[in-house]
A and B are shown apart, each in its own frame.
Chain A
Amino acid sequence: MSTSNINYLQEKKGLLSWLFTVDHKRIGLMYLGGVTLAFLLGGIFALLIRLELFSPGSQFVQPDRYNSLFTLHGVIMVFLFIIPAIPGALGNFILPIQLGASDVAFPKLNLTSFYLWFIGLCIALATLIMGNLDGGWTFYAPYTISGNKAVVWAVFAAFILGFSSILTGLNFVVTVHKLRAPGQSWFKLPLFIWALYATALVQVIATPVVGITLVLLIMENILKIGIFDPALGGDPVLFQHFFWFYSHPAVYIMILPAFGVISEIIPTFSRRNIFGYKIIAFSSVAIAVIGFLVWGHHMFVSGQSTVASTAFAFLTFLVGVPTAIKVFNWLATLYKGSIELKTPMLYALIFLFLFTIGGLTGITLGILSVDVHLHDTYFVVAHFHYVMMGGTVMGFLAGVHYWWPKMTGRMYSETWGKIGAFTVFAGFNLTFMPQFIMGTLGMPRRYNDYVPEYEIFHKLSSIGAGILGIGLFIALFYLIASLFNGKKAEQNPWGSKTLEWEEAASPPVTHNFTTQPVITHGPYEYGVEVKA
């Protein structure tokens, strides 16, 4: 441990000291900047899509361009934003500090993983000028094996981003196993660590499979290798199996870290020990395991056998159980707590509300007979946006607000924070609630045009998207403003019990702690007399 008392932001100055840093906190901040940029880009594409869909018929983009827009929206949001957002930005910053370590196990690998992310971003954006990207973020063969250059490069970008994700996961698993502070036993770990640990396991185990799948897809385009192309004896359904074998577990890579954030925030702002610590910890691992066995529910109409579909449907119901356990535990933690509605808590409550809708509609879609009707409609679009945006993005925003004082040493405006949160909540529901309704009425996804019957729903949804955009911009502005004129943050402004608040300064010193911390109490022991 270093005895230096200079904080990590002031230790070294200049651009190069950031570009070549191996400090997990600086890498975390670079990720935060990076994923915010990706979110902005993906969000702009989403707004363009909603603008085009404001009225029936072609407004300002041709159908080919429209395909590019929704494909890039998906690729950027999934691979460049949601997957790296919480682990890359918040996890990188907070995980070592919560463990009582001074860095992740492999700091250089950590920086490598950031640069791989950056290369992925550059390639993904370069496809914009290569022609018409097509096929959606799922890259289904045989649409994607026609030799379209933009598609091949987008697939390559996803491949590179996979490596970035694997390296982060590998780093976190080793760090959690080997670098815990004295006294930091597994059941004294904050639940954010448990969630990141479960996530990291999925990243390490699932991502290589999509890696080889994307390589095969590139080979199919360049060499005509004959694995996925039915004209050459290949099997396009095999692509779907391979793809979802990764991409369903990837859904848990996206949502589990948000569960972790919520498990930190709810006890802090309810001043209560978390209800059912162990069951929340184990349910993260259970979700990671069962999540590997449900991929076939994306393929109910692909021609897979009825037996397989039935099994996948039941496993899908099963994965809902540990998820529901978490939700009930959070609610039980709130019960009789001294709830303080600060901005992070508001986002956590928004998360609970939206994620529950997203999760329950997921069970609806897991029912075989219902899915056949709803497959590829806006109901599916609304469902996964409630989970991914209502869940992960709200969890991310909650976490950013919660740890902002720790990361930057500044407080943001609570008033503007609340205004932003309410605007986001209103805008989000107005955007996606109508999509559930038009989905059940049969509006298919991924079309740039529709019959007039759906117009009212599309109009509401587009207006909602505008409000949602305004809410997010409000958050962006007051957070940036706080860097310049925000009040200086205390070490522990929320009165939390975890290590990053109790032992590390705001912002932390270069090696996190001036002396090696020793853990003597659990992470959520509020209202308990702590014996020294």
Chain B
Amino acid sequence: MSTNLALHKVGHHFRSAEEEFESAKLGTWLFLATEILLFGGLFCAYLVFRSMYPQAFAEASAHLNWKMGALNTLVLITSSFTMAWAVRLSQLGDKKKLILTLAITLICAGIFMVVKYFEYTHKIHEGTLWAGAFTAQGFSDPRVPTFFGLYFLMTGLHGLHVVIGMGLILWLIIKTGKNHFSPEYFTPVEMVGLYWHLVDLIWIFLFPLLYLISGVKL
């Protein structure tokens, strides 16, 4: 454990450090609730259009590469594990291992985005895009572009959250390097952890709904 801790000062309006931590935690959970409702709108649109055009969804979904989706699921679950570990390490004040676990989380997030990049460029190349930009040939159902519109909206918004998460994790690594955290004060690590688990959780719903609805061919 480091010797020159940069002491965190409790805000003047809190009566104790515990009250401050509890407030941050409740605030973060409320924020996560808003995130769920934000994505909820898209999930609701998915539900409506899938029930309107089930054939189109089946046909379009078969066109996605489920292996890439599965790889990304694995990568994100791994990152969630290392993030949870990082939170524990921050409580214990183990600086070296904290930086290591955060770095692994960051790398996993990076891998996720690289895989996503390959998927996106492939679709742009094929022209399997949203309705206004759809140029691909050979689909039988005219509503296939609706599926791809939702695919890009949902994975796009999720990808944006991954990128923001990467920024936050990088910030944690820098702060850890500067000895900002201690067993008495680890609030940001725990809060970013909560956020990261939500980002992971949303993907866990996106993966089957987008990639697996027409079955998988090995």
A interface residues, Cβ below 8 angstroms from B? 2, 96, 101-107, 166, 170-171, 173-174, 177-179, 204-209, 211-213, 216, 219, 223-227, 229, 232-235, 238, 242, 511, 516
Stretch of B75-83, B108-116, B125-133, B166-174 at the chain-chain interface: B125-133
Q: Which residues from chain B contact A219 at a C-beta distance below 8 Å?
A: 153
Given the known interface contacts A174-B23, A224-B131, A226-B149, the answer about A238 and B34 at a Cβ–Cβ threshold of 8 Å is no
Could you tell me the distance between the alpha carbons of A106 and B20 in the complex, rounded to whole angstroms? 10
A204: B residues at CB distance < 8 A: 30, 33-34
26 CB-based A-B contacts, threshold 8 Å: A2-B12, A104-B13, A106-B23, A166-B34, A170-B31, A177-B26, A178-B19, A179-B19, A204-B33, A205-B37, A207-B34, A208-B34, A209-B37, A212-B40, A216-B153, A219-B153, A223-B130, A225-B149, A227-B150, A229-B131, A233-B131, A233-B142, A234-B131, A235-B48, A238-B48, A242-B41
Main SS at interface, chain B:
helix
B146 A173 Cβ-Cβ under 8 A: no
B-side contacts of A516, CB under 8 Å: 15
B119 part of interface (Cβ distance < 8 Å): no
Residue of A nearest to B40 (CB): A209
CB closest chain-A residue, reference B26? A174
Q: For the complex, what is the distance from the CA of A175 to the CA of B182, rounded to whole Å?
A: 26
Which residues on the B side are within 8 Å of A211 (C-beta)?
A: 38, 41
The verdict on B184 contacting chain A, using a C-beta distance below 8 Å, is no
A-B pairs under 8 A by CB, number: 117
Interface residue ranges, B against A (CB under 8 Å): 11-15, 19, 22-23, 26-27, 30-31, 33-35, 37-42, 44-45, 48-49, 52-53, 130-133, 142-143, 145-146, 149-150, 152-153
Check B45 against A224 for contact (C-beta < 8 Å).
Answer: no
Most buried by A among B22, B132, B143: B132
* CB–CB B12/A102 < 8 A: yes
Interface pair B23/A233, CB less than 8 Å apart:
no
Expressed in whole angstroms, the minimum distance between the Cβ of B24 and any Cβ of chain A is: 8
Report A398 CB to chain B, min CB distance, Å: 28
Partner of B30, one of A174, A227, A234: A174
Cα(A229)–Cα(B52), bound, Å = 15
Contact B40 A224 (CB under 8 A): no
Q: Report chain A residues within 8 Å CB of B53.
A: 233
Kindly list chain B residues whose C-beta atoms are within 8 Å of the C-beta of A178.
19, 22-23, 26
A224 with B38, Cβ < 8 A, contacts A170-B31, A179-B13, A235-B48 known: no
> Known contacts being A105-B27, A233-B145, is A225 close to B34, with CB within 8 Å?
no
Knowing A170-B30, A216-B153, the reply to whether A225 touches B37 (Cβ < 8 A) is no
User: Once bound together, how far apart are the Cα atoms of A226 and B129, in whole Å?
Assistant: 11
Q: How far is the CB of A15 from chain B (nearest CB, A)?
A: 23
Evaluate contact between B35 and A208: CB separation under 8 angstroms: yes
- Chain A binding surface SS class: helix
Please determine whether B34 and A233 come into contact, CB atoms closer than 8 angstroms.
Answer: no
Q: How far is the CB of A524 from chain B (nearest CB, A)?
A: 26
User: What residue in chain A is nearest B37 (Cβ atoms)?
Assistant: A208
Q: Contacts A178-B19, A226-B149 hold; do A238 and B45 have CB atoms under 8 A apart?
A: yes
Smallest Cβ-Cβ distance to A171: which chain B residue: B27
Q: A208 contacts which chain B residues (CB < 8 A)?
A: 34-35, 37-38, 40-41
User: What is the CB-to-nearest-CB distance from B148 to chain A, in angstroms, rounded to a whole number?
Assistant: 9
Bound-state CA distance A178–B39 (Å) is 28
Chain B residues within 8 Å of A102, by CB: 12-13
Interface centre among B30, B31, B53, by most chain A C-beta atoms within 10 angstroms, is B30
B165 to nearest A CB, angstroms? Answer: 18
B43's closest neighbor in chain A, by CB? A212
Closest CB of chain A to B37's CB: distance in Å? 4
**Pair B35/A226 contact, Cβ less than 8 Å:** no
B148 to chain A: closest residue by CB? A226
**Cβ B42 vs Cβ A212 within 8 A:** yes
How far, in angstroms, from A232 to B142 measured CA to CA in the complex? 10
B19: nearest chain-A partner, CB-CB:
A178
**Apart from A204-B30, A209-B37, 19 more pairs, CB < 8 Å:** A96-B13, A105-B23, A105-B27, A106-B27, A166-B34, A177-B26, A178-B23, A204-B33, A205-B33, A207-B34, A209-B38, A216-B41, A223-B132, A224-B133, A226-B132, A226-B149, A227-B49, A227-B149, A242-B45
On whether A227 and B37 interact (CB within 8 A), knowing A178-B22, A232-B132, the answer reads no
- Taken together as a complex, chains A and B put the C-alpha atoms of A96 and B34 apart, in Å, by 23
CB-CB under 8 A for A225 and B153, given A204-B33, A208-B34, A511-B12 = yes
> CA of A234 to CA of B48 in the docked complex: distance in angstroms?
10
Check A107–B33 contact: CB distance below 8 A: no
